Amino acid sequence: MASLLILGLGWAGEFLAELLDSQATDISYAATTRDGRNHTIPWSLGTDPSNVNVSRLPIAQTVLVTFPVLDPMVMKALIDAYDRKAGGASQWIILSSTRPFNSPGTNDRHSPLDRSQDPERIPAEDVVLARQGSVLHLAGLWGKQRQPKGWVGYFTTKDALKHKLLDRQLHLVHGKDVARAILAVHLGVQKYTQLRAQRWILTDQRCYDWLRLFLAWASNDQITILQHLLDYDQDIQKKWGRHQTLHRLVKEGLKPRLDSKSFWDSFGLVPTTFLAIE
Ligand SMILES: NC(=O)c1ccc[n+]([C@@H]2O[C@H](COP(=O)([O-])OP(=O)(O)OC[C@H]3O[C@@H](n4cnc5c(N)ncnc54)[C@H](OP(=O)(O)O)[C@@H]3O)[C@@H](O)[C@H]2O)c1
């Protein structure tokens, strides 16, 4: 029996595979992709709950689902079929986003979920929780080819930049810390039953400010638009006051939107990889 089965060896899955490959432990794993590239098991989860096929999947203690499952009946059929094959209940982890944690102020894992933000994936996550599994709500993923410096260039229009001025918080977690977190959940829930059946928020415990990213990496045109918004846009002035500058706002700091302390404390870890904005 493998320790971990990674359903979907994509970006996050690869960080986990690298961590497991690098560790001198007995944590074995198997992984799937839809096309079976790089010696992975070719496997795909369809949309028909009556047609979920697990015959190719090896049995593992923990199954990690790295992609959104958009139908609770499909999730249920997958777990049922897998448990039948395994001859007992297996442990499940599913990755999700932090989008539904959008209450005003700082959200922790006990804050209300805005189900309308992810109406398709949340019901499938509920199935995982009902089976004593874990849901990891990941903040913005970065590492390797995903570099926040490269994201700055996406915001070129006045509207896009205004949106960022109004909503400045950026929460991130590096792929290496995602991998460490998944491994910790795999090991932790076996030891401590109170850690099972929980939703967790995962960030690097910092709150970055989009304005700092813009000051470091934006073009002159983008900076000009941002300052123009500060000088003339009523919504922006209502939020941040008149006669503001980008530098002053950055200095004043921000209240985080997300708080993931509970995750790191519960699993006895700390995040290790942070974005340097320079
Ligand atoms: N991007 C972000 O900043 C962000 C932030 C928070 C949370 N998230 C969430 O974090 C999770 C992991 O993200 P990621 O970037 O690692 O995803 P990814 O690179 O797209 O990897 C997903 C993997 O799942 C596989 N897959 C997708 N649909 C499948 C299906 N129907 N049946 C079987 N396999 C399927 C893909 O197969 P192939 O390799 O064959 O394509 C891929 O290996 C996702 O749930 C994502 O929504 C992302």
46-64 pLDDT, tens digit per residue, is 999 999 999 999 999 999 9
pLDDT of residue 133: 98
Looking at the predicted structure, is the pLDDT value of residue 37 above 90? yes
Helices (H), 87-195: 122-130, 148-151, 158-166, 175-191
Residue 245 lies in a domain: no
- C-alpha–C-alpha distance, residues 117 and 100, integer Å: 5
Q: What is the CATH number of the domain that holds 177?
A: 3.40.50.720
Q: Tokens for 246?
A: 């980008």
What's the CA gap between 207 and 90, in Å, rounded? 35
Nearest ligand 1 atom, CA 46: 31
User: What are the CA-CA distances from residue 199 to residues 28, 125, 158, 180 (Å)?
Assistant: 25, 9, 36, 17
154 assigned to some structural domain: no
Four-point Cα dihedral 95, 96, 97, 103, nearest 10 = -130
Contact at 8 Å (CB) between 52 and 81?
yes
Report residues whose beta carbon is within 6 angstroms of any ligand 1 atom: 8-13, 33-35, 44-45, 66-68, 95, 97, 138, 140-141
In a domain, 228, yes or no: no
Q: Is 276 a domain residue?
A: no
Q: Work out the average pLDDT over 201-208.
A: 98
Q: Is residue 152 part of a domain?
A: no
pLDDT beyond 90 at 23:
no
Per-residue pLDDT, 25 = 72
Q: Best mutation site among 66, 74, 96, 202 for ligand 1, i.e. most ligand atoms within 8 A of its Cβ?
A: 66
User: How many angstroms is it from 42 CA to the middle of ligand 1?
Assistant: 15
239-264 tens-digit pLDDT: 999 999 999 999 999 999 999 999 99
185 inside domain: yes
pLDDT digits (tens, 9 = 90+) for 108-144: 999 999 999 999 999 999 999 999 999 999 999 999 9
Give the confidence band of 73 by pLDDT, cuts at 50, 70, 90.
very high
Classified as helix, coil or strand, 59 is: coil
Q: How confident is the model at residue 26 (pLDDT cuts 50, 70, 90)?
A: confident
Total domains present in the chain = 1
CA separation, residue 25 to residues 19, 29, 47, 185 (Å): 10, 12, 36, 16
Check pLDDT > 80 for residue 70.
yes
d(CA 161, ligand 1 centre) in Å: 28
What would the mean pLDDT of 87-116 be, rounded to a whole number?
Answer: 97
- Which atom belonging to ligand 1 lies closest to the Cα atom of 69? 31
Residue with CA at minimum distance from ligand 1 atom 45: 67
Q: How far is CA 225 from CA 124, 163, 210, 249, 251, in A?
A: 42, 12, 14, 16, 20
Residue 24: pLDDT band by 50, 70, 90 thresholds? low
Average pLDDT score, the chain: 97
Pocket probe for ligand 1: among 67, 78, 98, the residue whose CB has the most ligand atoms within 8 Å is 67
Domain of 53? 2-145+171-207+257-266
* Nearest residue by C-alpha to atom 26 in ligand 1: 8
Domain assignment of residue 70, yes or no = yes
Residue 60 lies in a domain: yes
Which atom of ligand 1 is least distant from the CA of 99?
Answer: 6
